[in-house]
Structure 1
Amino acid sequence: MTNIGFGIDIGGSGIKGARVNLDDGEFIGERAKIATPKPATPDAVAEVVAEILRQEEWDGPVGIALPSVIREQVALSAANIDPSWIGTNVHELFHRHLGEDREISVLNDADAAGLAEVSFGEPAAAQGAVIFLTFGTGIGSAFLTEGRLFPNSELGHLIVDGEEAEWLASSAAKDREELSFKKWAKRVSKVLAEYERLFSPTAFVVGGGISRDHERWVPHLTIDTPVIPAELRNRAGIVGAAMAVSTHLAP
Structure 2
Amino acid sequence: MYALGIDIGGTKTAIGLVTTTGDVVGYDKLPTDQTIEPTKMIERIIVHVKTLLEKHRIDDNQLYGIGIGAPGPLDISHGMITYPPNLPRWRNVPVVKLMSAYFSVPIRLENDASCAAVAEHSFGASQHYTDSLYVTISTGIGAGIISKNTLISGGKGNAGDVGHMVIDPSFGECVCGQYGCFEHICSGTAISREASKLKGTSISTEEAFRLYEAQDKDMVPYLDTVIERMGMALVSLINSLDPEIVVIGGGVSQVGDTLFEPIRHYVKRYTLNKDAGDTPIVPAKLNQEAGIIGAAALVSPEI
TM-score, reference length from structure 1: 0.81
What residue is the counterpart of 2:97 in the other structure?
A: 92
Match for 2:143: what amino acid? S
Give the structure 2 partner of residue 138 of structure 1: 140
Please say which structure displays the higher CA radius of gyration.
2
Aligned to 2:261: 219
Q: In the alignment, what sits opposite 1:246?
A: 300
Asked if 1:169 is matched to 2:186, the reply is yes
Correspondence 1:26 to 2:7: no
Q: CA deviation at 1:42?
A: 2.9
Contact 1:135 1:170 in 2 (8 A): yes
CA contact (8 A) 1:125 1:144 kept: no
Aligned counterpart, 1:160: 167
1:188 aligns with 2:230: yes
- Check if 1:45 corresponds to 2:45: no
Distance 1:125 1:45 in 2: 38
User: How much does 1:55 deviate?
Assistant: 4.2
Q: CA deviation at 1:206?
A: 1.0
Structure 1 residue 83 displacement after superposition: 5.4
In structure 1, what is the Cα distance between the partners aligned to 2:38 and 2:75?
Answer: 14
The answer to whether the Cα contact below 8 Å between 2:120 and 2:290 also exists between their aligned partners in 1 is yes
Question: Paired residue for 1:7?
Answer: 5
Query: Number of residue pairs matched?
Result: 241
Whether the aligned pair in 2 keeps the contact of 1:40 and 1:81 (CA below 8 Å) is no
Q: Give the secondary structure class of the aligned counterpart of 1:64.
A: strand
Q: Sequence identity, in percent?
A: 27
Separation (CA, whole Å) in 2 of partners of 1:127 and 1:43: 38
Question: Aligned partner of 2:282: which letter?
Answer: I
Question: C-alpha separation between the residues in 2 aligned to 1:212 and 1:11?
Answer: 19
Secondary structure of the equivalent of 1:19? strand
Once the two structures are superposed, what CA deviation does each residue of 1:80-133 show, in whole Å capped at 9, x if it has no partner?
A: 2125433x333212234xx153432221111111111111111366333x2211
Q: Aligned residue for 2:68?
A: 64
* Farther-moved stretch of structure 1 (146-155 vs 117-126): 117-126
CA RMSD of aligned residues (A): 2.8
Structure 1 equivalent of residue 215 of structure 2:
none
After the TM superposition, which parts of structure 1 deviate over 6 Å for at least 4 consecutive aligned residues? none
| Aligned counterpart for 1:206 among listed residues 248, 262, 265 | 248
- SS of the residue aligned with 2:234? helix
Mark the runs of 5 or more structure 1 residues left unpaired by the alignment. Answer: none
